[in-house]
Amino acid sequence: MKVIFYDGHVEEIDNAEEELHILRHTAAHIMAQAIKRLYPEADFAYGPANEKGFYYDVDFGDTKISDEDLPKIEDEMRRIVKENLPVKPFVLPRAEAIKLMQDRGEKYKVEHIGDLPEDAVISFYQQGEYIDMCVGPHLTYTKALKAFKLLGLSGAYWKNDSNNRMLTRIKGTAFKTAQELEAYMLELKEAELRDHRRIGREMSLFMSDDLVGKGLPMFLPKGYIVWQELENYIKEKERALGYQHVLTPCVGTVDLYKTSGHWDHYKNNMFPAMEVEGEAFVLRPMNCPHHMMIYANRAHSYRDLPIRIGEIAHDFRFEASGTLKGIERGRHFCQNDAHLFVTPEQIKDEVGKVVDLIFDVYKDFGITNYRCVLSLRDPEDKVKYHQDDEMWNKAESALREVLNQLGINYTEEIGEAAFYGPKLDVNVKPAIGAEITLSTCQLDFCLPAKFDLKYTDSDGERKTPVVLHRAILGSLDRFMAYIIEETKGKFPVWLAPTQVKVLRVSERFSEYSESVCDALVDAGIRAELDDRNEKIGYMIREAQVVDRVPYMIIIGQKEVDEGTISVRVRDNTETFTTTVGEFVEKVCGEIKNRK
RNA sequence: GCCAAUGUGGCUCAGGGGUAGAGCAAUUCACUCGUAAUGAAUAGGUCGUGAGUUCGAUUCUCACCAUUGGCUCCA
């Protein structure tokens, strides 16, 4: 694919990823040109390509843009492509660049130039009447854009800052060929089918109701089975690693959260305080303070450390209404939380064990598509973070060093830290929407000091421990959402709400079917008998596409005569014949080994 | 919270200024059936809520609520 760079030289590029990026970037320009033709007052901010396509943030002034306007823009884009305009770059000195943009009424571009370093080369690309400030590279002619589609519009803040004006973001995607575009559209449709909210409803896993409140989903019997299995799973792992589990209340005094610093740095994410008998309480957004108090409950020797306190903790956060998303993000959720109280010397070892646990769990669930982030504070942000430069420098470099020593592959992100310390976050991409954090491991020199926690060291001195906050499954709710989407609701046997469904060919075989089902239930298997008078095909279909049960047992005359069962495995059309005893052994083995 | 869209029986959706329709699910009946939908009948909705325009609103207008896609934020 031929592309043109800002200095005017043309190169043949042969790298699929790069090609796609350039193609989409040019698509963004063509879209902007189309918009400018249709809405001459439009003022353009940023218009990049990304891994899914491209977008342009546009200020339409007082003009309201809605979905219905997209086809018009798309048509105009097609016209521009057809016109086959050459794409030509040019470079201007700073003053002239500013003047050009000012003359064209591009106030965002002018501001953008102001943000660029003094020695920056300021380049432009022109196609027909349209000029955009851009570093490129781009396609050489508009006709080289073969397959594109506008996907929707949304709001986006100028420079990603909610204090700034909200612009209209128009999103689209582009591919080298129409077939690839079509395949992508199909992929989007399939992602919708994987959406945990949809599957949760289909499988009766959870529900929500306006009367209960938004962001407050409720787990139904089948969903709660999955939830409990996850709880048992992670607690078992943690117990084996020396964690001790506790139970603490969902409410605490405001004073507790003033002591921890949440009141100063996290208040926006908390439900407002409630007053009773002259005392103020809050629903807790985090349970760290409770665990700090548990540590403080008695004196500790260095010999006691590390102390690992875990809890499946109910937390409540006041999340902005627009961010709520099924059980992936609600205003109530259950963290798989733990706080490790360690000596400075133990930091590396304990972070290492946490990281090992995270990847061990991911292996069990087959999670391979994740990204590690070292989340650091934004030193400019004086509100969000506990202010103590020395503490932050120490914590950030300590965590970075440990991650390097452990050989973790990560990227650093500024402004993503917790208010009390830096984090290692492990992020995944759900079926729909932006990346989410699943696991986290946070290094905290702050809270132990605020709570004046101590241990007596070998030299007899009283010292302050370091705290690691960590969540492996993150929250059980969010983890479950992710697993639902990864498995499309086809849970492994140990997690499946219904593990076996017993189906009979006719009512005549009720007695035998019941005895088979009873035997499975007695063996600890979650088995159900479908005793409706439906055709066998109908019941198989439902067990397969609605309940997504791992095993179906079909019983008819043949099985009754032979004293056997016929087993059909989810997603398989072949069946095998076996005895109840053998089947129980097989399934119990799978459950035990969490297969 | 912000930008935009959406809201019709449990679910998926059609309709449209004169007071509602389909499929699936549910219930009942018949069939007693061999591996992804048996047939028939019945029941179920003050069309998200409130106000306005109108002789008349589920349909038009406004406000509110909720949901969805993004933005900000986040486990």
pLDDT in tens, A341-396: 999 999 999 999 999 999 999 999 999 999 999 999 998 888 889 999 999 999 99
Give the pLDDT confidence score for residue A120 in this predicted structure: 84
Mean pLDDT within A249-262:
96
CA nearest to A565, candidates A554, A581, A551: A554
Residues of A (41-70) placing their beta carbon closer than 7 angstroms to any atom of strand B are: 64-67
Structural domain boundaries in chain A: 2-179, 199-487, 500-592
Strands A565-569 vs A575-578: parallel, antiparallel or unpaired: antiparallel
Give the pLDDT confidence score for residue A547 in this predicted structure: 94
Which positions of A are catalytic? 288, 317, 335, 337, 339, 423, 469
Rounded, the Å distance between the CA of A418 and C1' of B38 is 60
pLDDT score of A171 more than 90: yes
Rounded, the Å distance between the CA of A198 and C1' of B35 is 27
Rounded, the Å distance between the CA of A152 and C1' of B61 is 27
Mean pLDDT within A571-583:
95
CB proximity A515–strand B (7 Å threshold): no
Give the pLDDT confidence score for residue A44 in this predicted structure: 94
CB proximity A336–strand B (7 Å threshold): no
Q: 3-class secondary structure for A103-116?
A: HCCCHHHHHHHHHC
Give the pLDDT confidence score for residue A207 in this predicted structure: 92
Name the closest nucleotide to A545, judged by C1' and CA.
Answer: B36
Residues above pLDDT 70, as percent of chain A: 100
Name the closest nucleotide to A559, judged by C1' and CA.
Answer: B34
pLDDT in tens, A393-419: 999 999 999 999 999 999 999 999 999
C-alpha torsion A550→A553→A554→A560, nearest 10: 170
pLDDT in tens, A518-545: 999 999 999 999 999 999 999 999 999 9
Give the pLDDT confidence score for residue A408 in this predicted structure: 92
CB proximity A204–strand B (7 Å threshold): no
pLDDT score of A117 more than 90: no
* Contact criterion met (CB below 8 Å) for A426 and A371: yes
Question: Quick one: fold of A2-179?
Answer: Threonyl-tRNA Synthetase; Chain A, domain 2 (3.30.980)
Mean pLDDT within A554-572:
95
A533-564: string of b/e by CB count within 10 Å (b at 16+)? Answer: eeebeebbebbbeebbbbbbbbbbeebbeeeb
* Strand B nucleotides, any atom under 7 Å to a protein CB: 1-5, 11-12, 26, 30-38, 65-75
pLDDT score of A580 more than 90: yes
Residue A527, phi then psi, degrees to nearest 5:
-115, 145
SS3 assignment, position A488:
coil
Mean pLDDT within A465-473:
97
CB within 8 Å of A472: residues ≥ 6 apart = A234, A237, A336, A354, A357, A358, A361, A439
pLDDT band at A448 (very low <50, low <70, confident <90, very high): very high
Rounded, the Å distance between the CA of A298 and C1' of B8 is 62
Give the pLDDT confidence score for residue A396 in this predicted structure: 94
pLDDT in tens, A263-321: 999 999 999 999 999 999 999 999 999 999 999 999 999 999 999 999 999 999 999 99
Q: Which amino acid is at A276?
A: V
> Same fold for the domain at A199-487 and the one at A500-592?
no
Name the closest nucleotide to A575, judged by C1' and CA.
Answer: B35
Q: How far apart are CA A564 and CA A580, in angstroms?
A: 7
Q: How many Å is the maximal CA-CA distance in chain A?
A: 93
Give the pLDDT confidence score for residue A338 in this predicted structure: 97
pLDDT score of A211 more than 90: no
Mean pLDDT within A134-152:
92
pLDDT band at A136 (very low <50, low <70, confident <90, very high): confident
ipTM surpassing 0.85, yes or no? yes
C-alpha torsion A113→A115→A117→A122, nearest 10: -20
CB proximity A536–strand B (7 Å threshold): yes
Neighbouring C-beta atoms of residue A459, cutoff 10 Å = 7
Give the pLDDT confidence score for residue A173 in this predicted structure: 95
Residues of A (234-263) placing their beta carbon closer than 7 angstroms to any atom of strand B are: none
Give the pLDDT confidence score for residue A111 in this predicted structure: 92
CB proximity A138–strand B (7 Å threshold): no
Give the pLDDT confidence score for residue A418 in this predicted structure: 94
Rounded, the Å distance between the CA of A165 and C1' of B7 is 29
pLDDT band at A119 (very low <50, low <70, confident <90, very high): confident
CB proximity A371–strand B (7 Å threshold): no
Residue that has been written with the tokens 């109280």 in this structure: A341
pLDDT band at A209 (very low <50, low <70, confident <90, very high): confident
pLDDT score of A455 more than 90: yes
Rounded, the Å distance between the CA of A189 and C1' of B6 is 18
What is the radius of gyration, based on Cα positions, of chain A? Answer: 29
Angle between helices A107-115 and A94-103 (to 10 degrees): 160
Mean pLDDT within A96-123:
90
Give the pLDDT confidence score for residue A470 in this predicted structure: 97
CB proximity A166–strand B (7 Å threshold): yes
Give the pLDDT confidence score for residue A49 in this predicted structure: 92
SS3 assignment, position A376:
strand
Q: What is the CATH code for A199-487?
A: 3.30.930.10
Name the closest nucleotide to A315, judged by C1' and CA.
Answer: B75
pLDDT band at A90 (very low <50, low <70, confident <90, very high): very high
Name the closest nucleotide to A535, judged by C1' and CA.
Answer: B33
pLDDT band at A248 (very low <50, low <70, confident <90, very high): very high
Here the tokens at position A400 are: 């970075």
CB within 8 Å of A309: residues ≥ 6 apart = A243, A244, A245, A246, A291, A294, A295, A338, A339, A340, A341
Name the closest nucleotide to A322, judged by C1' and CA.
Answer: B1
CB proximity A199–strand B (7 Å threshold): no
CB proximity A163–strand B (7 Å threshold): no
Q: What is the CATH code for A500-592?
A: 3.40.50.800
CB proximity A559–strand B (7 Å threshold): yes
Rounded, the Å distance between the CA of A170 and C1' of B72 is 17
Q: What is the mean pLDDT of chain A?
A: 94
